[in-house]
Chain A
Amino acid sequence: MVGERMTASPDHRAGTAGVGRLAPAAVALIALVGLWEAAVRLLQIEAFLLPAPSAVFTEFVADASVIWSAGFKTLIEAVGGLVAGTIGGILVAFVVARWEAVRLGAMPFAAAVNAMPIVAVAPITIALFGLTNPVSRMAVVALMVFFPVMINTTRGLLSADANELELMRSYGASGWSILRRVRIPSAHPYFFSALKIVVPLSLIGAIVSEYFGGPQDVLGQYITNRAQLFQFPDAWAAMLVAAILGIGMYSLVLLAERLVMPWHVSVRTSDQR
């Protein structure tokens, strides 16, 4: 179905991530990097195809201040758009969930727009807000973030258990009270699923928008410039920074999820199995 791709149901994993559970991943990472390094050296792969991890790491250290400062500027664009898109998505979700007529009118379009490659609007927002204005990139990110957040949060608000709603009704609870005590908690898992989708999306949106031009001191421009100069290890080092930023943001979402809904199956701390 159109737009179904971007909506996600809350995942019902039992998640207790102790240090012990990270060990296999650490070993796999070391093995992979080792294999990569060996392959590049033994097969003499050209740097423009795939630079060795050691070369990437050398540039990552040597050019650290430039890359990190570019990363920081890109991060601001991503986070700015993420915050705007998320707040907008939540607000619209409340309206859409509250009035069925609005829902029936708006949701098919939202689903259709959600299925479109929204980054493609970057040239338009640049024309609107100006090439040097970070808002033109934030706007792209906000649009990319808005739809998954809005669609998922709406589904979450509507997902409240019929028995729970009936219970609240038996107490003569007001609509506001039901929203606060049942619908919003029911929407939390859906909202966090959306957030996990849009956090990586926000960085993608920011970097790809930067490819369309603008200030040179951002990750997207750094990567294009270095690639044009055949300085591939530099480009890869910039991607490493982007990855670190993405993982950092994602980890913050996981942390927030644990704090906000410790009761949900996916984050419960007591033994589930």
Chain B
Amino acid sequence: MGEIVAARRVSKVFKTGKGAVEALRDIDLTIDPGEFVSLIGPSGCGKSTLLRLVGDLLTPTAGELVVNGKTPAQSRLDHDYGIAFQKATLLDWRTAIENVELPLELMNVGRDQRRARATEMLEMVELGEFVNANPWQLSGGMQQRVAIARALALRPPLLLMDEPFGALDEMTRESMQQELLRIWRETDTTIIFVTHSIPEAVFLSTRVVVMASRPGRIVDSMPVDLSHPRGVDTREDERFYTTLTEVREALRGR
């Protein structure tokens, strides 16, 4: 089995009323279990599309994609991944905790266990006091944290995260990054993380995958040589800055 994601010459073309959009061309990407991979690239380069392909929310137009040793569809049905979208997407008719319980409910986890697990997850994202709040009573950032708690609730082997911290203020963002790294280290989760922020990508990842658009493709894949655990010191590290520069240059097309 080996890798958790294996993409070979994967392409995705969207057919729209105004013709075809080539969102991704010939994507080759393998991700090993335990990696933390960031996808970075200009808007519209196909980052979300790639994540959706892995999650079987879209099907490739061409190429071969294996997730967790199975077809993406089988992985989805086996609850092999948790997903956090660009938008929080909470169900308005459920309280915060009921939203976090949703995936557990669909896995037929018992009521008490569900409650306990969801409470734990909400405390982890520092929303312990808002367990019974309704989504519309939460700020955008808080809603996004509920969505992250929900994605983590099942302890999936693979986490797909699409700009999950985009709506957060700098302070919360940094503490969420720290939390996410802690969860990643403590569990054997593999994370694919889409972001627009170079420092965020470098700080979090073991590898940064740089993409370009028109057509969407991978232009570089750079390992991040920074030791774990990472924290405030990491951001001061000289290698942190050299990696930032490397990624920035790769994004510019060198």
Residue in A163, A185, A270 whose beta carbon sits within 8 Å of that of B85 in the complex: A163
Q: Which residues of chain B come closer than 8 Å to A129, judged between CB atoms?
A: none
- For window 160-177 of chain A, which residues contact chain B by CB distance below 8 Å? 161, 163-164, 166-167, 169-173, 177
Tally A residues with Cβ within 8 Å of B.
21
A185 to B92, CA, bound (A): 9
State whether A263 touches B134 (Cβ < 8 A). yes
The answer for the CA separation of A185 and B83 in the assembled complex, in Å, is 22
Within 8 Å by CB of A177, from B77, B85, B106, lies: B106
> Are B85's CB and A164's CB within 8 A?
no
**Is A167 a contact of B76 with CB atoms below 8 Å?**
no
Interface assignment of A226: CB less than 8 Å from any CB of chain B: no
**What residues of chain B lie closer than 8 Å to A163, measured between beta carbons?**
85, 87, 89
Contact A170 B83 (CB under 8 A): yes
Residue-wise interface mask of A (62-86) relative to B, using a CB-CB cutoff of 8 A (1 in contact, 0 not): 0000000000000000000000000
With both chains docked as a complex, state the minimum distance between the C-beta of B139 and any C-beta of chain A, in angstroms. Answer: 14
B29 at the interface (CB under 8 A from A): no
**Judging by beta carbons under 8 Å apart, are B89 and A161 in contact?**
yes
CB interface residues, B 76-96, toward A, < 8 Å = 76-79, 81, 83, 85, 87, 89, 91-93
CA–CA, A172 to B156, complex, Å?
Answer: 14
| Chain B residues in 8 Å Cβ range of A182 | 91
Report the separation of the CA atoms of residues A185 and B106 in the bound assembly, to the nearest whole angstrom: 17
Contact B89–A164 (Cβ < 8 Å): yes
How many Å lie between the Cα of A166 and that of B160 in the bound state? 14
Given known A-B contacts A177-B106, A181-B102, A268-B136, A170 and B89 have beta carbons under 8 A apart: no
Say yes or no: is B137 at the interface (Cβ < 8 Å to chain A): yes
B100–chain A nearest beta-carbon distance, Å: 13
The smallest beta-carbon distance between B67 and chain A, in angstroms, is 13
Residue A264 CB within 8 A of the other chain: yes
CB of B57 within 8 Å of the partner chain? yes
**How far apart are B105's CB and chain A's nearest CB, in angstroms?**
8
**Nearest CB to that of B52 among chain A residues?**
A166
Q: State whether B91 touches A170 (Cβ < 8 A).
A: no
CB of A185 within 8 A of CB of B79, answer: no
| In the bound complex, CA of A161 to CA of B91 (Å) | 10
Give the residues in chain A near B164, CB-CB below 8 Å: none
Q: Which residues of A contact B137 (CB under 8 A)?
A: 270
Q: Among A185, A264, A268, which residue has its beta carbon within 8 angstroms of that of B91?
A: A185
Q: Which residues of A contact B78 (CB under 8 A)?
A: 172
A113 contacts across to B, CB distance below 8 A: none
Contact A171 B89 (CB under 8 A): no
A261 at the interface (CB under 8 A from B): yes
Question: Which B residues are CB-close (under 8 A) to A263?
Answer: 92-93, 134, 136
Bound-state Cα–Cα, A183 to B81, Å = 24
Q: Which of A166, A169, A171, A261 contacts B103 (CB 8 A)?
A: A171
Q: A170-B81, A182-B91 are in contact. List 11 more A-B contacts (CB 8 A).
A: A161-B89, A163-B87, A166-B85, A166-B89, A171-B106, A172-B77, A172-B106, A181-B102, A185-B93, A263-B136, A268-B136
27 contacts between A and B (CB under 8 A): A161-B89, A166-B85, A166-B89, A167-B83, A167-B89, A169-B57, A170-B81, A170-B83, A171-B79, A171-B102, A171-B103, A172-B76, A172-B78, A172-B79, A173-B106, A177-B106, A181-B91, A181-B102, A185-B92, A188-B93, A263-B92, A263-B93, A263-B136, A265-B136, A268-B136, A270-B134, A270-B137
Query: Which residues of B come within 8 Å of A, CB atoms?
Result: 55, 57, 76-79, 81, 83, 85, 87, 89, 91-93, 102-103, 106, 134, 136-137
